Structure 1
């Protein structure tokens, strides 16, 4: 899962050069929803929705809220830095949201991890405050907002995984979230028939293939299984590996800059992730939020 998600960042940015980013996100999740549906029908999995209100809220957070901000942000910021912000902040935001829902507890170690993560984020942003960097700064801020939305949705989803098959839940969260992305795209990017023609561009076609087959059908399905069995917090272990993959790909294939501010910020944020993740405690089954 970590490898898959680390490799999706650059194709996402390349595809956004051919079609608007939020429109791209909507097409990605509409296609992924159809693929999930075909798999469910072929395997005879149940499509029944338990707690429909919770499913809708989780869908709007995990798919609509997260990926509208994420695709918009990545189109404006370097993919390597975007991945660092997203993946290193994920466990920190999950700690905070899960503590609010009484699924996790705030400890002194985790407070230290949160502080170190914020320091790393400040270091990353400090290298983007000069002239001409406003777009990248806004993009990284949007990625941070997307991360909070996803973390919140992951915690909301956790009780659903005890009563719904992970693939069925992925279908509903993907499809409902995709429908939510359509009005967001229309509001932000407007409507133009040329957007659909742009999907035939090799950049968009390649990006969609990687995002749908790898990011959604592969990575997201694995993630849901891990959240069900480990909880949302420990499922965030992929945060150790994916940023390194994304940064390496961005530097090697897109000539993205990576200097001392980025290196120090990445080190601080991944150290925060390590500090939070290595706190010893027994794995526990998820419980219904209070």
Structure 2
């Protein structure tokens, strides 16, 4: 399997995990665990896992204060603000609204990449982003029109999308200098400091002994798949892919969200949805298309 195929496979799996999370996390919040409490469970678990791997397997140190400063900013944007705004927003709005608003992230990625990383904005890449975004919006527009999303929840998801887009761009230089485990372990440690004051009390409130097995399975999915596996795959892929490619895979999340609903008998697959999904995959292809060699 070539490196390019592995990168796309990793990003594809991340999109699938996030697409499923919109429905799975809603099963837990707020009936069993409040949103900030779920964040603390998620982030502290990741700190323990990534910290252990970093300390006993990778054993790599951060080399400069400048890198520590960038790590702190990545922890603030990629964990603290990203997680607090996402789960608080998802708790208030609908999974469909949330998945639609998330498509703002790739736009932020491309614009910040051009400004901070001096990446040139090729015309075909912009066309790919627009094509994928249009496909995603058309795919879920029928459902979104029938869903009453809380305005504050929608705004929080929008803020989350901006934070995550900025994180993808800012973490790129770190991924080129360090092992992914080194970067992720520090980012989660810094992010945990930010989320603990907001969610610690909510961790102590639930009666965990009364949780049914399905809720424990949902919490395990959020911790193991959405947190540990998804972040690892994302940051590994960023060593070999542009932030724009990583960001554009967010457009697959609403596709998977609706496909999962179809599998559960909550939606119907039509040829229009197949066409919109094809637009999204076409957009991903254009964004990932390599630059033409100069003769």
TM-score grouping bracket, smaller chain normalisation: 0.7 to 0.9
Match of 1:162 among 165, 176, 183: 176
Partner of 2:256: 245
Q: How does 1:264-275 map onto structure 2 within 5 Å?
A: 270=280, 273-274=283-284
2:27 corresponds to which of 5, 8, 14? 14
Q: Distance in 2 between matches of 1:36 and 1:242?
A: 25
1:215 aligns to 2:226 (yes or no): yes
User: 1: CA distance between counterparts of 2:205 and 2:125?
Assistant: 44
Please list every run of 5 or more consecutive structure 2 residues that lacks an aligned counterpart in the other structure: 1-9
CA-CA distance at 1:259 after TM superposition? 10
Matched length:
274
Asked if 1:92 is matched to 2:92, the reply is no
Which secondary structure does the structure 2 equivalent of 1:230 belong to? coil
Pair 1:198–1:97, CA change in 2 (3 A): farther
Flag the 1:275–1:41 CA change in 2: closer, same or farther, 3 A.
closer
Sort the Cα spacing of 1:82 and 1:208 in 2 relative to 1 into closer, same or farther, 3 A. same
Q: TM-score, normalised by structure 2?
A: 0.75
Rounded to whole Å, the distance in 2 between the matches of 1:205 and 1:30 is 17
Q: In the alignment, what sits opposite 1:172?
A: 186
| Superposition CA RMSD, Å | 3.6
* 1:102 paired to 2:117: yes
Q: Which moved more, 1:49-58 or 1:199-208?
A: 199-208
Aligned counterparts, 1:1-290, within 5 A: 1=10, 2=13, 3-17=16-30, 18-48=32-62, 50=64, 51-86=67-102, 88-112=103-127, 133-135=148-150, 137-185=151-199, 191=201, 194-198=204-208, 201-202=211-212, 204-236=215-247, 238-239=249-250, 241-253=252-264, 255=266, 270=280, 273-274=283-284, 277=287, 280-281=290-291
TM-score between both structures, scaled by the size of structure 1: 0.76
Question: Whole-Å Cα distance in 1 between the matches of residues 159 and 286 of structure 2?
Answer: 20
Give CA-to-partner distance per residue, 1:50-100, whole Å, 9 cap, x none. Answer: 4111100011101111111111222233324423432x3332221011112
Deviation of the 1:118 alpha carbon: 7.1
More divergent stretch after superposition (18-27 vs 121-130):
121-130
Shift of 1:209: 1.2
The one-character-per-residue Cα deviations of 1:2-56 (angstroms, maximum 9, x if unpaired) are 3333333322221213111122112201111101112223314224364111100
Mapped partners of 2:186, 2:292: distance in 1: 31
Cα distance change on mapping 1:47 and 1:29 into 2, 3 Å: farther
How big is the shift at 1:275? 7.6
Task: Look up the SS of the partner of 1:8 in the other structure.
Answer: helix
- Alpha-carbon shift at residue 226 of structure 1 (Å): 1.0
Offset at residue 174 of structure 1 (A)? 1.4
Q: Secondary structure at the match of 2:235?
A: helix
From the superposition, tell whether residues 254 and 74 of structure 1 become closer, same or farther in structure 2 (CA, over 3 Å).
Answer: farther
Q: 1:75 to 1:159 in 2, by over 3 A?
A: same
What SS does the corresponding residue of 2:33 show, helix, strand or coil? coil
